[in-house]
Every structure is written in C-alpha cells, then in structure tokens.
C-alpha cells in the first residue's frame, strides 16, 4: 500500500500540479498586494478616499467592509486578464497554428506535351490535342 501511494506522489502529474498550485498562490498574493497597495490608492485618490480598504457602512452596529470586497474584486479581475492575455490567447494561437488544414485536392494538372493547365479528368489536352 505504501509503495502504491509513493508511486502516485512521484508521478509527474501530481508534482506538476503541486508546483502550479504553489506558483498560483504566490502569483495571487503578488497581484493582491499590487491591487491593494498601488491600484486602489490611485483609483481612490481620484474619488477622494485614500484607500478602498477603509470604505465601509454600518447597519445596526454591524460594519460592512465593501472596500475590501472591491480590492478582492480588482485582484480577481487583474488575475483573470493576465491569465487570458498571457496564457489562453497564446495557447489558442499555437493550437490554431498546429491545426493547418491539408491543401485541397488538385482540380487541374499539366499537360505533358505543352505544359498547359487542364482538368484532372481530361483524356486529351484542349490546347495541343495530345492524348493523356
């Protein structure tokens, strides 16, 4: 049982997935910090507030921090844009480039005598009247 579990863990797919999760989490934290520390203060400065995280409203003594939600929403949108433009579009372009369709069957051929283009089904050249 332990050998099977070890073989499962050492397969390439599991290790690749673990690396992808770690890098994705690190990328998410970098984008979150970028949004929280740079983007939202710039947007909030245009609106007169110094930071989105300080935005809230109160209902019956409960604070609703909608500024933090805006930070998270902007981080999500930035991650989605980066993934779309730097992962999805290049992969789609590579797949489309690899799916080149074969050329269509020829409809004409060259006459062996006068080298003019004639239909594939022709039995005699229309230009030099040579049998094919």
pLDDT in tens, 70-102: 878 888 888 888 888 888 899 889 888 888 777
62 and 127 assigned to the same domain: no
Whether residue 112 is found in the same domain as residue 59: no
**114 lies in the same domain as 78:** no
Contact 124, 130 (CB under 8 A): yes
At residue 12 the predicted structure's pLDDT band, cuts being 50, 70 and 90, is: low
Number of domains in the chain: 2
User: What pLDDT, on the 0 to 100 scale, is given for residue 40?
Assistant: 73
Q: Is the pLDDT of residue 104 over 70?
A: yes
Q: Domain range spanning residue 121?
A: 106-132
26 with 87, same domain: the answer is: yes
Compute the Cα dihedral for 13, 19, 25, 29 and give only its sign: negative
* Mean pLDDT of the residues in the chain: 82
Q: What pLDDT is recorded for position 89?
A: 92
Separation of alpha carbons 66 and 57, rounded Å: 8
Does residue 112 contact residue 101 with C-beta atoms inside 8 Å? no
7 with 35, same domain? yes
Q: Model confidence at 103, in pLDDT bands (50, 70, 90)?
A: confident
């Amino acid at each position: 049982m332990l050998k099977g579990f070890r073989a499962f863990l050492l397969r390439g797919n599991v290790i690749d997935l673990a690396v992808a999760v770690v890098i994705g989490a690190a990328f998410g934290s970098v984008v979150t910090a970028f949004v929280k520390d740079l983007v939202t203060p710039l947007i909030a400065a245009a609106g007169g507030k110094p930071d989105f995280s300080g935005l809230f409203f109160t209902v019956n003594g409960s604070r609703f921090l909608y500024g933090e939600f805006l930070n998270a929403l902007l981080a999500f949108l930035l991650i989605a844009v980066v993934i779309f433009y730097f992962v999805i579009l290049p992969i789609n372009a590579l797949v489309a480039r690899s799916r080149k369709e074969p050329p269509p069957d020829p409809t004409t051929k060259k006459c062996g005598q006068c080298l003019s283009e004639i239909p594939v089904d022709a039995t005699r050249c229309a230009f030099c009247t040579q049998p094919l």
